[in-house]
Amino acid sequence: MKIYENEYVFIEIEPSEIPWLKIFTQKQYKEFSQCPIEVKQEIWRLLDIIEKEMILFFNPAKINIASFGNYVPHVHFHIMARFEEDSFFPEPMWGKKQRECTYKMENLDHFVKKLINLLG
């Protein structure tokens, strides 16, 4: 679900057991190095805001930020709040499941509303 966009990027929520957002570029670039400087700066600005707000709001064990593109060759970044109680911790969310999730994500809608206000 798309929660924010501007001329350079858009942000989606990844359906998950943890708070997980993705930033995509509006135009499709295969590699980050192909993005214009304005797009790069906007991505870094948003990553910084999202990471800080996830830390304050959810108090996770760790924030994971990843950029892949093997299946979707379009520049995008994943920002995930990780918890020792999630199914995969300390593995990546694409890794081997470690346990049944006991983390209970609460107030995601409130977090998103607060985040949208911060993103301006």
Cα(117)–Cα(92) distance, integer angstroms = 29
∠ CA(108), CA(15), CA(35), 5° rounding?
A: 95
Neighbour-count burial of 29, counting CB atoms closer than 10 A to its CB (0-12 exposed, 13-18 middle, 19+ buried): middle
Q: 117: left (phi > 0), else alpha (psi -120 to 50), else beta?
A: alpha
User: For the domain 2-119, what is the CATH code?
Assistant: 3.30.428.10
- Cβ atoms 104, 92 nearer than 8 A: no
**Helices 108-119 and 37-58, axial angle in degrees (round to 10):** 140
User: Which two tokens mark 1?
Assistant: 């679900």
- Cβ atoms 35, 29 nearer than 8 A: yes
- Over the stretch 30-89, which tens digit does the pLDDT of each residue have? 999 999 999 999 999 999 999 999 999 999 999 999 998 777 789 999 999 999 999 999
pTM of the model: 0.94
Average pLDDT over residues 88-96: 95
Q: What size, in residues, is the chain? A: 120
3-state secondary structure of 57: helix
- Over the stretch 63-72, which tens digit does the pLDDT of each residue have? 999 998 777 7
